[in-house]
Structure 1
Amino acid sequence: MSGTIAAVSSNGTYSFTKPNRESITLIAGHGVEGDVHAGTTVKHRFRMAKDPSQPNLRQVHLIHEELLAEVAEAGFQVAAGQLGENVTTRGVDLLGLPAGTRLHLGDEAVVEVTGLRNPCAQIDGFQKGLMKQVVGRDDDGAVRFRAGIMSVVVTGGVVRPGDPVKVELPEGPHRPLEIV
Protein backbone atom coordinates (compact mmCIF):
# COMPACT_ATOMS: atom_id res chain seq x y z
CA MET A 1 0.00 0.00 0.00
CA SER A 2 1.31 3.42 -0.88
CA GLY A 3 0.07 6.93 -1.49
CA THR A 4 1.19 10.53 -1.56
CA ILE A 5 1.30 13.54 0.71
CA ALA A 6 -1.36 16.07 -0.28
CA ALA A 7 -0.37 18.80 2.21
CA VAL A 8 1.79 19.49 5.26
CA SER A 9 0.86 21.89 8.06
CA SER A 10 2.24 23.21 11.34
CA ASN A 11 1.61 25.94 13.87
CA GLY A 12 3.87 27.27 16.62
CA THR A 13 0.92 28.44 18.73
CA TYR A 14 -2.15 26.68 20.11
CA SER A 15 -4.83 27.00 17.46
CA PHE A 16 -7.32 24.50 16.12
CA THR A 17 -6.21 24.89 12.51
CA LYS A 18 -2.69 24.72 11.16
CA PRO A 19 -1.55 26.68 8.10
CA ASN A 20 -0.22 24.72 5.13
CA ARG A 21 3.53 24.90 4.54
CA GLU A 22 5.85 24.22 1.62
CA SER A 23 7.56 21.66 3.86
CA ILE A 24 7.83 20.51 7.45
CA THR A 25 10.80 18.97 9.21
CA LEU A 26 10.21 15.93 11.40
CA ILE A 27 12.61 15.40 14.31
CA ALA A 28 13.09 11.89 15.71
CA GLY A 29 11.45 11.44 19.12
CA HIS A 30 10.18 15.02 19.06
CA GLY A 31 7.69 15.71 16.25
CA VAL A 32 7.26 18.55 13.76
CA GLU A 33 9.93 21.23 14.16
CA GLY A 34 8.35 24.43 15.46
CA ASP A 35 4.91 22.88 16.02
CA VAL A 36 3.19 23.51 19.34
CA HIS A 37 2.51 19.78 19.78
CA ALA A 38 6.15 18.71 19.35
CA GLY A 39 8.02 17.28 22.31
CA THR A 40 8.92 14.09 24.11
CA THR A 41 6.15 14.58 26.68
CA VAL A 42 2.49 15.28 25.95
CA LYS A 43 1.68 18.79 24.61
CA HIS A 44 -2.08 18.63 24.18
CA ARG A 45 -3.62 20.90 26.83
CA PHE A 46 -6.21 18.40 28.07
CA ARG A 47 -3.63 15.66 28.52
CA MET A 48 -1.08 18.06 30.05
CA ALA A 49 -3.63 19.03 32.73
CA LYS A 50 -4.01 15.36 33.69
CA ASP A 51 -0.32 14.38 33.65
CA PRO A 52 2.31 16.51 31.88
CA SER A 53 4.96 13.80 32.27
CA GLN A 54 3.24 11.19 30.08
CA PRO A 55 5.00 10.37 26.79
CA ASN A 56 3.89 12.24 23.69
CA LEU A 57 2.25 9.60 21.48
CA ARG A 58 0.68 12.40 19.41
CA GLN A 59 3.75 14.04 17.84
CA VAL A 60 2.43 13.95 14.27
CA HIS A 61 -1.28 13.98 13.34
CA LEU A 62 -2.25 12.55 9.94
CA ILE A 63 -5.60 12.76 8.14
CA HIS A 64 -6.53 11.18 4.82
CA GLU A 65 -7.62 13.67 2.16
CA GLU A 66 -10.51 11.36 1.29
CA LEU A 67 -12.15 12.31 4.62
CA LEU A 68 -12.21 15.94 3.53
CA ALA A 69 -14.01 14.89 0.34
CA GLU A 70 -16.54 12.87 2.37
CA VAL A 71 -17.40 15.75 4.67
CA ALA A 72 -17.70 18.03 1.63
CA GLU A 73 -20.41 15.72 0.28
CA ALA A 74 -22.27 16.34 3.56
CA GLY A 75 -22.03 20.11 3.03
CA PHE A 76 -18.90 20.97 5.04
CA GLN A 77 -15.95 22.81 3.53
CA VAL A 78 -12.75 21.64 5.20
CA ALA A 79 -9.30 22.14 3.70
CA ALA A 80 -6.03 20.43 4.57
CA GLY A 81 -4.71 21.56 7.95
CA GLN A 82 -8.03 22.90 9.16
CA LEU A 83 -8.66 19.93 11.48
CA GLY A 84 -5.24 20.43 13.06
CA GLU A 85 -3.36 17.74 11.20
CA ASN A 86 0.30 17.98 10.26
CA VAL A 87 0.19 15.63 7.28
CA THR A 88 -2.69 15.17 4.86
CA THR A 89 -2.33 11.97 2.83
CA ARG A 90 -3.95 10.71 -0.35
CA GLY A 91 -4.49 7.06 -1.26
CA VAL A 92 -3.69 5.46 2.11
CA ASP A 93 -6.38 3.91 4.33
CA LEU A 94 -4.98 5.43 7.51
CA LEU A 95 -7.88 4.30 9.69
CA GLY A 96 -7.42 0.69 8.56
CA LEU A 97 -3.78 0.50 9.64
CA PRO A 98 -2.77 -1.48 12.73
CA ALA A 99 -0.90 0.09 15.63
CA GLY A 100 2.85 -0.01 15.06
CA THR A 101 2.63 0.57 11.30
CA ARG A 102 5.52 2.63 10.01
CA LEU A 103 4.85 5.25 7.39
CA HIS A 104 7.79 6.34 5.26
CA LEU A 105 7.14 9.96 4.33
CA GLY A 106 9.27 11.28 1.50
CA ASP A 107 12.90 10.29 1.17
CA GLU A 108 13.90 10.05 4.85
CA ALA A 109 11.20 10.55 7.46
CA VAL A 110 9.51 7.62 9.19
CA VAL A 111 6.65 7.84 11.69
CA GLU A 112 5.16 5.01 13.71
CA VAL A 113 1.38 4.93 14.14
CA THR A 114 0.38 5.02 17.82
CA GLY A 115 -3.41 5.24 17.57
CA LEU A 116 -6.51 7.19 16.68
CA ARG A 117 -7.09 10.87 17.27
CA ASN A 118 -9.71 11.53 19.89
CA PRO A 119 -11.93 14.19 18.28
CA CYS A 120 -12.71 17.10 20.57
CA ALA A 121 -15.51 19.68 20.84
CA GLN A 122 -13.34 22.18 18.94
CA ILE A 123 -14.40 20.37 15.76
CA ASP A 124 -17.98 21.59 16.24
CA GLY A 125 -16.60 25.00 17.20
CA PHE A 126 -14.88 25.08 13.82
CA GLN A 127 -18.07 24.08 11.92
CA LYS A 128 -21.24 23.20 13.78
CA GLY A 129 -22.29 19.61 13.09
CA LEU A 130 -18.89 18.52 11.78
CA MET A 131 -18.25 16.30 14.82
CA LYS A 132 -21.05 13.95 13.68
CA GLN A 133 -19.17 13.50 10.40
CA VAL A 134 -15.94 12.37 12.07
CA VAL A 135 -17.46 10.35 14.92
CA GLY A 136 -20.13 7.81 14.13
CA ARG A 137 -21.17 4.22 14.56
CA ASP A 138 -20.48 1.21 12.38
CA ASP A 139 -23.08 -1.38 11.37
CA ASP A 140 -22.63 -3.17 14.71
CA GLY A 141 -23.20 0.03 16.71
CA ALA A 142 -19.56 0.43 17.77
CA VAL A 143 -18.22 4.00 17.87
CA ARG A 144 -15.95 4.87 14.93
CA PHE A 145 -13.45 7.69 15.20
CA ARG A 146 -12.48 9.07 11.79
CA ALA A 147 -10.57 12.27 12.61
CA GLY A 148 -7.18 10.84 11.71
CA ILE A 149 -4.35 8.98 13.35
CA MET A 150 -1.49 9.92 15.63
CA SER A 151 2.16 8.92 15.37
CA VAL A 152 5.65 9.44 16.74
CA VAL A 153 8.72 10.27 14.68
CA VAL A 154 11.16 7.37 14.36
CA THR A 155 13.45 8.91 11.72
CA GLY A 156 13.54 12.62 10.98
CA GLY A 157 13.51 14.34 7.63
CA VAL A 158 11.87 16.98 5.46
CA VAL A 159 8.37 16.23 4.19
CA ARG A 160 6.66 18.04 1.30
CA PRO A 161 3.39 17.88 -0.63
CA GLY A 162 3.79 15.40 -3.49
CA ASP A 163 6.19 13.17 -1.54
CA PRO A 164 5.39 9.45 -1.53
CA VAL A 165 3.95 7.60 1.47
CA LYS A 166 5.07 3.99 1.83
CA VAL A 167 3.30 1.75 4.33
CA GLU A 168 5.32 -0.81 6.33
CA LEU A 169 3.02 -3.06 8.35
CA PRO A 170 4.30 -4.51 11.64
CA GLU A 171 4.73 -8.23 12.12
CA GLY A 172 1.51 -9.90 13.22
CA PRO A 173 -0.64 -10.34 15.05
CA HIS A 174 -1.84 -6.84 14.29
CA ARG A 175 -3.39 -4.63 17.00
CA PRO A 176 -6.30 -2.40 15.97
CA LEU A 177 -5.97 1.33 16.52
CA GLU A 178 -7.31 2.75 19.76
CA ILE A 179 -7.62 6.31 21.01
CA VAL A 180 -4.33 7.81 22.23
Structure 2
Amino acid sequence: MESVLLVEGLGVDEDAHSGTTVQHVFRKRSHPRQPNLRQVHLIHAELFEELAQDGFEVGPGDLGENITTRGIDLLNLPEGTLLRIGPDAVVQVTGLRNPCRQIDRFQAGLLKTVLPLNSAGKVVRKTGLMGIVLSRGRVNVDDEIRAEVPAGPAAPAQVRLISRRRTRRPRTSRTVVMMPVSINLASICARRKDRNPPACPGASGPVGPSPGTY
Protein backbone atom coordinates (compact mmCIF):
# COMPACT_ATOMS: atom_id res chain seq x y z
CA MET A 1 0.00 0.00 0.00
CA GLU A 2 1.24 3.45 -0.88
CA SER A 3 -1.71 5.49 0.35
CA VAL A 4 -4.56 5.61 2.85
CA LEU A 5 -8.05 7.07 2.61
CA LEU A 6 -9.26 9.38 5.38
CA VAL A 7 -13.06 9.42 5.59
CA GLU A 8 -14.90 12.43 6.99
CA GLY A 9 -16.41 11.75 10.42
CA LEU A 10 -15.02 8.21 10.57
CA GLY A 11 -11.23 8.07 10.35
CA VAL A 12 -8.88 5.86 8.33
CA ASP A 13 -10.76 3.60 5.93
CA GLU A 14 -10.81 -0.03 7.21
CA ASP A 15 -8.95 0.91 10.40
CA ALA A 16 -10.04 -0.68 13.67
CA HIS A 17 -10.54 2.76 15.26
CA SER A 18 -12.73 4.06 12.43
CA GLY A 19 -16.24 5.14 13.47
CA THR A 20 -18.40 8.04 14.63
CA THR A 21 -18.58 6.75 18.21
CA VAL A 22 -15.76 5.64 20.48
CA GLN A 23 -13.92 2.52 19.27
CA HIS A 24 -11.55 2.13 22.21
CA VAL A 25 -12.11 -1.45 23.42
CA PHE A 26 -12.62 -0.67 27.10
CA ARG A 27 -14.39 2.67 26.80
CA LYS A 28 -16.74 1.24 24.22
CA ARG A 29 -18.07 -1.19 26.83
CA SER A 30 -18.96 1.48 29.38
CA HIS A 31 -19.65 4.53 27.15
CA PRO A 32 -20.57 3.22 23.68
CA ARG A 33 -22.24 6.46 22.57
CA GLN A 34 -19.32 8.77 23.24
CA PRO A 35 -18.03 10.58 20.14
CA ASN A 36 -14.91 9.12 18.61
CA LEU A 37 -12.19 11.75 19.03
CA ARG A 38 -9.41 9.23 18.28
CA GLN A 39 -10.07 8.62 14.59
CA VAL A 40 -6.49 9.33 13.47
CA HIS A 41 -3.24 8.94 15.41
CA LEU A 42 -0.12 10.84 14.34
CA ILE A 43 3.43 10.42 15.70
CA HIS A 44 6.59 12.35 14.81
CA ALA A 45 9.43 10.21 13.44
CA GLU A 46 11.90 12.13 15.56
CA LEU A 47 10.54 10.23 18.58
CA PHE A 48 11.90 6.95 17.20
CA GLU A 49 15.38 8.46 16.90
CA GLU A 50 15.16 9.78 20.46
CA LEU A 51 14.11 6.36 21.75
CA ALA A 52 16.96 4.70 19.88
CA GLN A 53 19.41 6.78 21.94
CA ASP A 54 17.86 5.18 25.03
CA GLY A 55 18.33 1.69 23.63
CA PHE A 56 14.83 1.03 22.28
CA GLU A 57 14.07 -0.25 18.78
CA VAL A 58 10.86 1.46 17.68
CA GLY A 59 9.80 2.18 14.12
CA PRO A 60 6.76 3.41 12.21
CA GLY A 61 3.65 1.47 13.24
CA ASP A 62 5.10 -0.04 16.39
CA LEU A 63 3.12 2.35 18.61
CA GLY A 64 -0.09 1.99 16.62
CA GLU A 65 -0.05 5.29 14.73
CA ASN A 66 -1.70 5.81 11.36
CA ILE A 67 0.53 8.64 10.15
CA THR A 68 4.20 9.31 10.85
CA THR A 69 5.38 12.89 10.33
CA ARG A 70 8.77 14.55 10.15
CA GLY A 71 9.73 18.18 10.61
CA ILE A 72 6.60 19.38 12.40
CA ASP A 73 6.31 19.97 16.16
CA LEU A 74 3.19 17.89 16.74
CA LEU A 75 3.29 17.97 20.53
CA ASN A 76 3.07 21.76 20.69
CA LEU A 77 0.15 22.18 18.30
CA PRO A 78 -2.94 23.50 20.13
CA GLU A 79 -6.25 21.68 20.21
CA GLY A 80 -8.35 22.70 17.21
CA THR A 81 -5.38 22.95 14.83
CA LEU A 82 -6.26 21.83 11.32
CA LEU A 83 -3.82 19.50 9.59
CA ARG A 84 -4.27 19.64 5.82
CA ILE A 85 -2.62 16.48 4.53
CA GLY A 86 -2.20 16.04 0.79
CA PRO A 87 -4.58 17.83 -1.59
CA ASP A 88 -7.88 17.15 0.20
CA ALA A 89 -7.72 15.51 3.64
CA VAL A 90 -8.21 17.65 6.77
CA VAL A 91 -7.66 16.36 10.32
CA GLN A 92 -8.58 18.40 13.38
CA VAL A 93 -6.38 17.96 16.47
CA THR A 94 -8.45 16.78 19.47
CA GLY A 95 -5.71 16.10 22.03
CA LEU A 96 -2.51 14.34 22.95
CA ARG A 97 -2.31 10.57 22.82
CA ASN A 98 -2.08 8.98 26.28
CA PRO A 99 -0.22 5.64 26.04
CA CYS A 100 -1.01 2.69 28.29
CA ARG A 101 0.85 -0.28 29.74
CA GLN A 102 0.54 -2.25 26.48
CA ILE A 103 3.64 -0.37 25.37
CA ASP A 104 5.69 -2.10 28.07
CA ARG A 105 4.57 -5.46 26.67
CA PHE A 106 6.18 -4.39 23.41
CA GLN A 107 9.46 -3.32 25.05
CA ALA A 108 10.00 -3.23 28.80
CA GLY A 109 10.51 0.25 30.22
CA LEU A 110 9.19 2.01 27.14
CA LEU A 111 6.11 3.48 28.83
CA LYS A 112 8.14 5.36 31.43
CA THR A 113 10.44 6.69 28.71
CA VAL A 114 7.61 8.17 26.64
CA LEU A 115 5.98 9.63 29.77
CA PRO A 116 8.88 11.48 31.45
CA LEU A 117 8.57 14.25 34.02
CA ASN A 118 9.66 17.79 33.19
CA SER A 119 11.54 20.13 35.54
CA ALA A 120 8.24 21.08 37.18
CA GLY A 121 7.38 17.46 37.90
CA LYS A 122 4.62 17.29 35.29
CA VAL A 123 4.19 14.37 32.90
CA VAL A 124 5.25 15.00 29.29
CA ARG A 125 3.36 12.82 26.81
CA LYS A 126 5.51 12.15 23.75
CA THR A 127 3.44 9.67 21.75
CA GLY A 128 1.80 12.04 19.33
CA LEU A 129 -1.63 13.48 18.66
CA MET A 130 -5.15 12.23 18.11
CA GLY A 131 -7.59 13.84 15.70
CA ILE A 132 -10.84 13.59 13.78
CA VAL A 133 -11.32 13.73 10.01
CA LEU A 134 -13.15 16.85 8.82
CA SER A 135 -12.60 16.39 5.09
CA ARG A 136 -12.21 13.21 3.07
CA GLY A 137 -9.03 12.66 1.12
CA ARG A 138 -6.41 10.18 0.03
CA VAL A 139 -3.01 10.60 1.64
CA ASN A 140 0.17 9.35 -0.01
CA VAL A 141 3.70 8.80 1.20
CA ASP A 142 5.65 12.10 1.08
CA ASP A 143 2.54 14.27 0.84
CA GLU A 144 2.87 17.69 2.44
CA ILE A 145 1.09 18.67 5.62
CA ARG A 146 -0.03 22.21 6.50
CA ALA A 147 -0.73 23.06 10.11
CA GLU A 148 -3.32 25.82 10.49
CA VAL A 149 -3.16 27.04 14.08
CA PRO A 150 -6.16 28.88 15.58
CA ALA A 151 -5.62 32.62 15.89
CA GLY A 152 -4.99 34.23 19.24
CA PRO A 153 -3.34 32.87 22.38
CA ALA A 154 -3.29 29.09 22.37
CA ALA A 155 -1.81 26.45 24.65
CA PRO A 156 -0.55 23.07 23.36
CA ALA A 157 -3.10 20.28 23.08
CA GLN A 158 -3.87 18.54 26.35
CA VAL A 159 -4.77 15.03 27.42
CA ARG A 160 -8.41 15.03 28.51
CA LEU A 161 -11.41 12.81 29.15
CA ILE A 162 -13.66 12.30 26.14
CA SER A 163 -16.91 14.10 26.80
CA ARG A 164 -20.34 13.88 25.25
CA ARG A 165 -20.15 17.40 23.93
CA ARG A 166 -19.69 18.01 20.25
CA THR A 167 -16.18 18.94 19.17
CA ARG A 168 -16.14 22.61 18.27
CA ARG A 169 -14.69 23.68 14.95
CA PRO A 170 -11.78 26.09 15.39
CA ARG A 171 -11.83 29.74 14.43
CA THR A 172 -11.19 30.51 10.78
CA SER A 173 -8.27 32.95 11.11
CA ARG A 174 -5.06 30.91 11.20
CA THR A 175 -1.32 30.87 10.85
CA VAL A 176 -0.22 28.40 8.18
CA VAL A 177 3.06 26.45 8.38
CA MET A 178 4.15 24.16 5.54
CA MET A 179 5.82 20.92 6.63
CA PRO A 180 6.56 17.54 4.97
CA VAL A 181 4.77 14.39 6.05
CA SER A 182 5.51 10.73 5.59
CA ILE A 183 2.91 8.01 6.01
CA ASN A 184 3.34 4.69 7.73
CA LEU A 185 0.94 2.11 6.33
CA ALA A 186 2.05 -0.88 8.40
CA SER A 187 -0.02 0.25 11.37
CA ILE A 188 -3.11 0.55 9.22
CA CYS A 189 -2.83 -2.99 7.94
CA ALA A 190 -2.14 -4.27 11.46
CA ARG A 191 -5.37 -2.80 12.80
CA ARG A 192 -7.80 -3.76 10.03
CA LYS A 193 -11.12 -4.97 11.37
CA ASP A 194 -11.67 -7.68 8.76
CA ARG A 195 -8.41 -9.47 9.57
CA ASN A 196 -8.93 -9.57 13.34
CA PRO A 197 -5.17 -9.27 14.08
CA PRO A 198 -3.49 -8.92 17.48
CA ALA A 199 -3.70 -5.37 18.77
CA CYS A 200 -0.84 -3.09 17.84
CA PRO A 201 1.31 -2.29 20.87
CA GLY A 202 -0.04 0.98 22.20
CA ALA A 203 -2.90 1.13 19.73
CA SER A 204 -5.39 1.63 22.56
CA GLY A 205 -5.44 4.23 25.31
CA PRO A 206 -5.52 3.66 29.05
CA VAL A 207 -7.53 0.79 30.48
CA GLY A 208 -10.90 2.09 31.63
CA PRO A 209 -11.97 5.73 31.93
CA SER A 210 -9.72 7.71 34.23
CA PRO A 211 -10.15 11.44 34.90
CA GLY A 212 -7.74 13.65 32.99
CA THR A 213 -6.72 11.05 30.42
CA TYR A 214 -7.53 10.78 26.73
**Shorter-normalised TM-score: what interval?**
0.7 to 0.9
Once the two structures are TM-superposed, the CA of residue 178 in structure 1 deviates from its matched residue by 1.6
Q: Which residue number in structure 2 is paired with residue 67 of structure 1?
A: 47
Once the two structures are TM-superposed, the CA of residue 176 in structure 1 deviates from its matched residue by 3.0
More strand by share: 1
Q: Which residue number in structure 2 is paired with residue 52 of structure 1?
A: 32
What's the % identity of the aligned pairs? 53
Residue segments in structure 1 that go unaligned for 5+ positions in a row: 1-20
**In structure 2, which of residues 72, 82, 88 is the aligned counterpart of residue 108 of structure 1?**
88
**Partner SS state of residue 104, structure 1:** strand
Once the two structures are TM-superposed, the CA of residue 43 in structure 1 deviates from its matched residue by 0.3
Q: Could you state the TM-score of these two structures normalised by the residue count of structure 2?
A: 0.73
Q: Which amino acid aligns with 2:128?
A: G
Once the two structures are TM-superposed, the CA of residue 49 in structure 1 deviates from its matched residue by 2.3
Distance between the aligned counterparts of 2:46 and 2:26, measured in 1?
28
Q: Which residue number in structure 2 is paired with residue 17 of structure 1?
A: none
Q: Which amino acid aligns with 1:163?
A: D
Once the two structures are TM-superposed, the CA of residue 177 in structure 1 deviates from its matched residue by 1.4
Once the two structures are TM-superposed, the CA of residue 22 in structure 1 deviates from its matched residue by 1.5
Q: Which moved more, 1:166-175 or 1:87-96?
A: 166-175
**In structure 1, which of residues 132, 147, 150 is the aligned counterpart of residue 112 of structure 2?**
132
Deviations 1:49-86 (A, max 9, x none): 23010000000000000001100111111110110000
Q: Which moved more, 1:40-49 or 1:58-67?
A: 40-49
Q: Could you state the TM-score of these two structures normalised by the residue count of structure 1?
A: 0.86
**Partner SS state of residue 116, structure 2:** strand
Deviations 1:115-167 (A, max 9, x none): 01110111001111111121011111111111111000011111111111111
Distance between the aligned counterparts of 2:24 and 2:86, measured in 1?
26
Q: Which residue number in structure 1 is paired with residue 125 of structure 2?
A: 145
Q: Which amino acid aligns with 2:28?
A: M
Question: Is it true that 1:40 corresponds to 2:44 in the alignment?
Answer: no
Q: Which residue number in structure 1 is paired with residue 145 of structure 2?
A: 165
Q: Which residue number in structure 2 is paired with residue 24 of structure 1?
A: 4
**Partner SS state of residue 145, structure 1:** coil
**In structure 2, which of residues 50, 55, 64 is the aligned counterpart of residue 84 of structure 1?**
64
**In structure 2, which of residues 91, 99, 102 is the aligned counterpart of residue 119 of structure 1?**
99
Distance between the aligned counterparts of 2:114 and 2:16, measured in 1?
23
Larger-Rg structure: 2
Question: Is it true that 1:155 corresponds to 2:135 in the alignment?
Answer: yes
Distance between the aligned counterparts of 1:118 and 1:81, measured in 2?
16
Distance between the aligned counterparts of 1:173 and 1:73, measured in 2?
35
Q: Which amino acid aligns with 2:106?
A: F
Report the aligned-residue RMSD.
1.0
Distance between the aligned counterparts of 1:160 and 1:127, measured in 2?
30
